[in-house]
Every structure is written in C-alpha cells, then in structure tokens.
Structure 1
Amino acid sequence: MGAENTASLRKASNYEMVLTSLCSGAIAGALAKSSIAPLDRTKINFQISSEVYTTKKAWRFLVQTFQKEGFIALWRGNSATMARIVPYAAIQFTAHEQWKRVLKIDYTMNSPAKQLLAGSLAGITSQSLTYPLDLARARMAVTPKDEYASLQQVFVKIYRNEGLITFYRGYVPTIIGVIPYAGVSFYTYDTLKRLYKENIHDTNKPGAFASLMFGAAAGICGQTSSYPLDIVRRRMQTDVCFRYKTILGTLDYIHRNEGLRGFYKGLSMNWIKGPIAVGISFATYDSIKEFLRVYIIGHSS
C-alpha cells in the first residue's frame, strides 16, 4: 500500500487496537520463546540447584539431555511455555498499549516516569493473570518426563499433593521482579525507536533489523535489572521440600550457601537467549500489528 494511501487511513478504534495487539502479541511470544526453549530449560536447571554455573556445564547438560532423552526433550516443558506465553505475551503487549493510553503517554515520551510505569503495569497485569501456567512450565522443565507427562497432570498432581495455594508460590518475588523488568524493557525499546526516528531515519516504523536490535538491547537491560528475583521465584516455584518458604528466607539461603554469585547464576546464558527472545518478540509484534492494522483492517495505528 502506497504512502499516500497509508496516510489517508483513519485511526483504528480502540477495539480494533486491542484485537490486533492480542493477535500480534500471541504470535510474537510463541515464536520468541520457542526459539530459545532449550537454553531456557538449561538456565532453569541451574537456577534451582546449588551447582556452580559454567558455560561448559550448561553445554554438557544440553548434550546429556539429547543423548539420554532425545532431541525433542530439549523442548520439554515448551507445551506449558506455549500455554502460558501465548496469553501472557498477548495480554502484556495489549496492556502496555492500554496503560499508555490511560496514562496519556504520547510518542514524544516527555514523561519517562510514566513510560516506566506503563511497562511495569503491563508486566504486573500479564504475570498476575497467567502465573499458574508459569509455575507449571517450570516444574515440567526440571523434572523427569515420567513425573509429569502432560500439562494437565502437573495441575492435577500439584493440586492433590500440595494444595491450591501452591499455584501462586513465588508470586510475590515474580511481581517484584517484573516491575523493573517490564518497565525497563518497554522503556528501552520505545526510547530507542524514538531516538532512531529523531536522529537516524525519519520514519514512524523502523525496519525489522533495527527493531530486532532495539528489542535485544531492551532484553539485556530488563533481565539484568531483575535477575536475582528471577532466581528466587524459580527456587520457590520448583521447591517440593518446602525449603524456600519466603523471599527473605530464600535470599538468605542462597547467600549463605552460594554467595553473591548464586544470585546471578545463569545470567550469562540470559545475555545470549534474552536478547534473541526479546528482540524477536518486539520485532515480530510490531511487524504483525502493523500488517493487521494497515493491510487487513485498513486503518492506521
């Protein structure tokens, strides 16, 4: 569609914006998470153990998993990840647009505090609505295949053996962690897009490669800012011996037994997989959203 035709399109209604955001976010999240699922499983395995993380050991875990359980096992728990990430990403991206609308944030982003708040609120919204699926996915990623054969079995066993409240074990550190993570990620991505428009190329939509790079930078900044709490939530989510009952207790246990390094175990892997996943997620979301709004619905964003 030509530039003049695009310019003549009327603005999409809020209903259409929500619908296209939900679809775009769902596809973006599924694609991004599937691309780094083996690395994600490896990271979680080290996060929940006291074993010292090294790149060599991480590689060995991947190789041993492949040799003992087969290639598909590298994606073990990914069905639970998809069951969570599709609604999670859809809700997060949509909530971010809606929170920016509520907070009256325009493209100039003249209020960094509001921009950070919008990202944080989007993260809180999506995490709160999908948290039990995140816990189920973590359990599947770190247990033998015969313990939890399916996502349904995870929910049934946890409910029968540990009770309903277990589905929200680790929720508080997760929410505390998602505040800087989502806030910094969305703020970094939107800021880089604005700077690109103002200083490099005067266009409303950066190209796919630029979006990928901006998303990668957002992923690094967001995950580094919240990583220690990610360790805490994984320990609490996968704890079946009730060793990690509280946030402070978990922090104290990790510090006493593993030192400060324990809070950043697996972070170097996150610097590999995080930028890939977040970059793909942001770039895919923007591309699909633009396509749906302009070429399918026939409205401008």
Structure 2
Amino acid sequence: MAPIKQREKPIHSLFAGATAGAIEAFVTYPTEFVKTRSQFGGKKEPLLSIIKDTVNQKGFTGLYSGCSALIVGNAVKAGVRFVSYDYFKEKLADSEGKVSAPRSLLAGLGAGSMEAIFAVTPSETVKTKLIDDAKRPNPQYRGLIHGTVSIIRAEGITGIYRGLFPVMMRQSANSAVRFTVYTTLKQVVQGNTRSGQPLPSALTFGIGAIAGLVTVYTTMPFDVIKTRMQSLEARAQYRNSFHCAYRIFTEEGFFRFWTGTTPRLTRLVLSGGIIFTVYERIIGVIGGREPPSSSS
C-alpha cells in the first residue's frame, strides 16, 4: 500500500511561507538591487560598476534601497504562494496524494497568479520606483510608506499596479517552473529514501537551488519587461507591456531581455534553497502537516 501523504495546514503553511520569504528577501536583496538597476533603460551599466558607484555614493546600505518594500512583499508573496500552491496541489492530487508534473505545473500557475495580484505587483512597483528614485541626486521618496503614499497620490491606486500583466506572467511561470522542478525532484529523491523520513536540509537546499536555476532562464524576459513598466519613466515611454517588449526588441536587441540574469540567477538559486529549506524546517518544527481526510 502506498504511504499516506500529509498535507500542510493552511495557517501553518502561511506562517512558514511568510517567514521564509522575509528571510530570503533580506539575505538576497543586494542581488535584486543590482539586477533592477541594470534593467532600466538608457546606457547599459556593468554590474560591478553599479555596486561600486552605489557603495561609493550611498555606502553599503545603498544596496538595500527599497529593501523594506521587498521584505514585506516577499513575506506576503511567499505566504500566498505556499497556501495557494498547497490548495491547488491538494485539489489536483490523485487518490494516493501524488501530483504529476503537468498537474504540479497547473498548481504553480494558479499560485503564481494569486501572488501576483495580492502581493507581488504592488511591492515590486514600489521597490522598483524606490530603486529608480535612489539614483537621482535628490531622491523624492523617503522610504516605503512615504513612497507608497506619494505614488498613490500622484497616480491613484493603479500607480502601484503598473506592470500587472508581465508580473502575472512572470510569477505564474516562476511558480509553475519552480514548484514543478522542486516537487518532481523531491518525489524522485524521496522515492529512493525511507518513507516518512524528512530530507536533510542540505539536500532540500540543493533541490530548491536547481529549481531556482531553471526558473531564471525561462522567465527572464517577463522580469525585464516588468522592471521597465514599473520605472519612473514608464508612463512617458510605453503604452503597455506589449509596446514595451516591442521597443526593447527593436531598439536594444533580443538579448536585452536577459539583462540582469547573473544577479537574478544568484538570487533565485539562493532563494530557492533558502525558501524551501526554511519552509520545510518551520513546518516540521510547528507540526504543520496533517494527514489528508479519509473522505477523499
């Protein structure tokens, strides 16, 4: 008889996911800062120059401009992601509680759409504008709260929802690819280990890192379009996401869609490892899994 699969309790999944997301955002933020700066329009800046100039002008803390927006957004995002994914995964699981790769892909797409709407788009818009504003001689935003209020006053609530379409595309693809790779590899590894035994943290980190690696290269164009649509000059330069993509392709070339790959790759490889490892550890500590109902 196949072993009974356990599912995560929603409230525990939310707590574990939010905590993992906040920790991951803080640890990896400098790579996010450099990636975002490199994706703005205009002259292409070498990654090392961005780091050097920022540290010289603002100190090391300059690499954390806009960090609070990402930490808050990432915590909410990760919480929504895990709860949504667990929900969709449970609905799509077979009678033994297993989820095939195609069904895991669908669960990931659903989770990505939910996090894009409820967490990622507002936090990414504010973060991007704070980073863009920070490179000005006289920044106009004094932090997360002031920046958010200023944007809403100037542009309305839609001001923090700019780039929603590319964000939904990116997050859906992110979650679909990351969860599918992670779940598939985890099931393969667990199939070769004793039933019921949790995987070692190092192995969980490695599987999560591989999932992050695959995710980067398949979703990078959405990330670049998202950054451009959320920049301070977006309203004057682009009519919509498709116009933005067209201008990047015709004016800057196909490979411009992969600008910022190195720092994003660094972040998502670390991110995949950190988030899944912290999530699994917290779930284990708080007893956040319960057996599925017998009625299914």
- When the two structures are superposed, what TM-score results if normalisation uses the length of structure 1? 0.87
Query: How far did 1:204 drift?
Result: 4.0
Query: How far did 1:161 drift?
Result: 2.0
Aligned equivalents of 1:11, 1:43: Cα separation in 2 = 39
Sequence identity percentage: 24
> In the alignment, what sits opposite 1:282?
276
- Give the CA RMSD over aligned residues: 2.4
Q: Aligned to 2:44, which of 45, 52, 67?
A: 52
Q: How does 1:194-209 map to 2 (within 5 A)?
A: 194-199=187-192, 204-209=197-202
Aligned equivalents of 1:51, 1:207: Cα separation in 2 = 45
Aligned equivalents of 1:230, 1:170: Cα separation in 2 = 10
> In the alignment, what sits opposite 2:130?
140
Query: How far did 1:245 drift?
Result: 2.1
Query: How far did 1:78 drift?
Result: 0.8
Aligned equivalents of 1:201, 1:209: Cα separation in 2 = 17
Q: How does 1:13-162 map to 2 (within 5 A)?
A: 17-52=9-44, 57-105=46-94, 107-109=97-99, 111-130=100-119, 131-144=121-134, 146-162=139-155
Query: How far did 1:246 drift?
Result: 1.1
Aligned equivalents of 2:112, 2:237: Cα separation in 1 = 28
* 8 A contact 1:42–1:61 mirrored in 2: yes
* 8 A contact 2:112–2:173 mirrored in 1: no
> In the alignment, what sits opposite 1:248?
242
* 8 A contact 2:167–2:222 mirrored in 1: yes
- When the two structures are superposed, what TM-score results if normalisation uses the length of structure 2? 0.88
Aligned equivalents of 1:248, 1:115: Cα separation in 2 = 29
* 8 A contact 1:236–1:245 mirrored in 2: no
SS in 2 for 1:206: coil
* 8 A contact 2:22–2:72 mirrored in 1: no
Query: How far did 1:300 drift?
Result: 6.6
The 1:163/1:242 distance shift into structure 2, 3 A limit, reads: farther
SS in 2 for 1:87: helix
Aligned equivalents of 1:42, 1:209: Cα separation in 2 = 27
Query: How far did 1:37 drift?
Result: 0.6
Matched, 1:269 2:263: yes
Q: Which amino acid aligns with 1:68?
A: Q
Q: How does 1:164-179 map to 2 (within 5 A)?
A: 164-179=157-172
Query: How far did 1:181 drift?
Result: 1.4
Aligned equivalents of 2:180, 2:5: Cα separation in 1 = 24
Q: Structure 1: which 5+ runs fail to align? A: 1-6
Query: How far did 1:201 drift?
Result: 5.9
SS in 2 for 1:65: helix
Aligned equivalents of 1:81, 1:268: Cα separation in 2 = 19
SS in 1 for 2:112: helix
Q: Deviations over 1:238-274 (max 9, x none)?
A: 1434212212211111012210111000112222221
* 8 A contact 1:100–1:118 mirrored in 2: yes
Aligned equivalents of 1:268, 1:71: Cα separation in 2 = 20
Matched, 1:188 2:181: yes
